[in-house]
Amino acid sequence: MLDLSHGQKGFTLMELIMVIVIAGILGTMTVSFITKPMEGYIDLTRRAELVDSADMAMRQMARDIRAALPNSIHIPDVTRLEMIHVRGGGRYDELDFSSEDTDFIVHGGSMPSGSGGRLVIYNLGVAGADARSGDAVITPASTDVAISGSGMQQSVALNPGHQFAFESPLQRVYLVDQHIGYCCAGNALYRHNYAIGTAMPACTSGSLVTRHMQSCAFSYDPGTQTRSALATLQLVLEQAGERISLLHQVHVGNLP
């Protein structure tokens, strides 16, 4: 008991023990109230990061697919996606298909001026008209392609000349520069840039697109003359028990 008769002040051992017990109870209750919301916030943040990462990867792949040469999308297996990248194009004029031609005009073009790249006309993606196989629908890698002018009319010079296999019903010509490929390996998605007509390099040697990849699946329906082609992309990401799955379909215009 507190003895005030001698002017002494303080707490008894019992009072201190009671204070400690009460403080422990209050602390436990406070921790339980704080821990659950914090855990929920951390889980929500992790889930949002996974969704954002997968969404950005989907957007990048969709952008490349839409910029691909018509009929050039290829699925070697369910975890790999390949296509030929287009730098520009237009409508050709004054081009001779009966023999090798060295120069012609492109109207309404968007091709960058200068040398480099390869030209493609009427790529159908089938034997005899497949740019991936080096058929005559594409200029050989040894042919120098020089483009001059800009805007509504551009001049194209080929050295040496090239005879394209088929005329395009819509007189379309495309300037392409490389393959773009995507693949999944080692819980990650990678992007590759490599020369047309060559095989995709080892998957993990590419540029990292996203981590935490649990699985991926690519498929492609080439479509018909009355229906657009359809590329289907599916990514499953997982981290610390959180798993999200995204499915995205990209309509592809394949009129060459």
Residue 108: what pLDDT? 86
φ/ψ of 164, rounded to 5, equals -75, 145
Give Dmax over CA atoms of the chain in angstroms: 124
| DSSP H or E run through 242 | strand 242-252
The proportion of the chain whose per-residue pLDDT surpasses 90, expressed as a percent, equals: 62
Supply the pLDDT for residue 188.
95
Per-residue pLDDT band for 202 (boundaries 50, 70, 90) equals very high
- Asked if the model's pLDDT at residue 41 lies above 60, the reply is no
> Taking residues 208-214, what's their average pLDDT?
92
Question: Cα–Cα distance between 179 and 176 in angstroms, integer?
Answer: 9
Query: Which stretch of 1-10, 149-158, 176-185 has the lowest confidence by average pLDDT?
Result: 1-10
Residue 9, helix vs strand vs coil: coil
Determine the average pLDDT of the residues in 51-57: 88
CA-to-CA separations, 143 to 115, 147, 165, in angstroms, rounded: 10, 13, 16
pLDDT at 200 over 90: yes
Mean pLDDT on 28-53: 67
φ/ψ of 211, rounded to 5, equals: -100, -170
Convert the pLDDT of each residue in 92-120 to its tens digit: 999 999 999 999 999 987 888 898 899 99
pLDDT of residue 1: 46
Q: In the predicted model, is pLDDT for residue 33 greater than 80?
A: no
Predicted model pTM: 0.81
The per-residue pLDDT for range 158-184, each reduced to its tens digit, is: 999 999 999 999 999 999 999 999 999
Using DSSP, state whether 208 is helix, strand or coil.
strand
Q: What is the mean pLDDT of residues 44-68?
A: 87
Q: Among 16-25, 30-39, 96-105, 160-169, whose mean pLDDT is lowest?
A: 30-39
pLDDT of residue 42: 60
Q: Is the pLDDT of residue 233 over 90?
A: yes
pLDDT greater than 60 at residue 56: yes
Q: pLDDT at residue 36 above 90?
A: no
E strand or H helix that includes residue 179: strand 172-185
Say which residue, 36 or 234, is predicted with more confidence.
Answer: 234
Q: Cα angle at 255 between 101 and 164, to 5 degrees?
A: 15
Q: Would you say residue 145 has pLDDT above 90?
A: yes
Beta strands at 101-107 and 144-148: parallel, antiparallel or unpaired: unpaired
**Sign of the alpha-carbon dihedral angle for 137, 122, 252, 48:** positive
